Amino acid sequence: MRELSLHILDVLENAIEAGATRIELSIEEDLEKDILRIVIHDNGHGMSEDFARRVLDPFVTTRTTRHVGLGLPLFAAAAERCNGKLRIQSKPRMGTTVTATFQHSHIDRAPLGDLATTLMAVILSERPVDVHYKHNVDARAFELDTAEIRRELGTVPLSHPRVRKWLESVLAEGLANLQRPMP
């Protein structure tokens, strides 16, 4: 995939498929140490230790529609190409944590890409799921928790066109601020 945000979307969708109601997405860009770390934790039904070990094999999947699952193996390959690695921690009923690290400046590292649309795709999911998104670029930080937003909205869904428009603008502004050079 051309953007890391597409791999992230894929893992987030896996979490939703696993019945997660809350997902924590943390992106840390430490430019001094030259590390990019992406951590995705969900409270879905998790995997057995054996399955978690084998899930990086492209011929292992929970899908019933076909017998290959390429999502995680592709993400792992992207990390390994950039002096990083992908780690999966999971336990049945305890959820799953996927951690991917990259050398930030590596020439083969794909850009993060359109994180705003990745987040919108999950926020607009037909299954009700909350996303807590934290993103740091050195000392700058952006955070958004849809659970807090949902609380304020009461019965109005996140997919309401007006709420959607508002969320899009909050994400665009927050992500733009992260990229702004320090004064």
Partner 1 sequence: MPKLKTIEELRKLREEAQRDLKVRLETGTKIIVGMGTCGIAAGARETMHAILEELKKREIEAHVTTVGCIGMCVREPLVDIEQAGKPRVTYGNVMPDMVPRLIEEHLIKGHIVEEWVVGRLPTTE
Binding site for partner 1 (CB under 8 A): 1, 6, 9-10, 13-14, 16-17, 63, 65-66, 69-71, 114, 117-118, 120-122, 124-126, 142-144, 149, 152-156, 159-166, 168, 170, 173-174
d(CA 111, CA 27): 13
d(CA 1, CA 179): 23
Q: Which is nearer to partner 1, 102 or 133 (CB)?
A: 133
Question: Please, what is the minimum distance in Å from the beta carbon of residue 6 to partner 1?
Answer: 6
DSSP state of 43: -
d(CA 100, CA 53): 15
Q: Which is nearer to partner 1, 61 or 83 (CB)?
A: 61
Question: Please, what is the minimum distance in Å from the beta carbon of residue 145 to partner 1?
Answer: 11
Question: Please, what is the minimum distance in Å from the beta carbon of residue 34 to partner 1?
Answer: 28
Residues contacting 165, CB < 8 A, separation 6+: none
Q: Which is nearer to partner 1, 102 or 142 (CB)?
A: 142
Question: Please, what is the minimum distance in Å from the beta carbon of residue 11 to partner 1?
Answer: 10
Are the CB atoms for 131 and 43 separated by under 8 Å? no
Q: Which is nearer to partner 1, 107 or 179 (CB)?
A: 179
Are the CB atoms for 36 and 101 separated by under 8 Å? yes
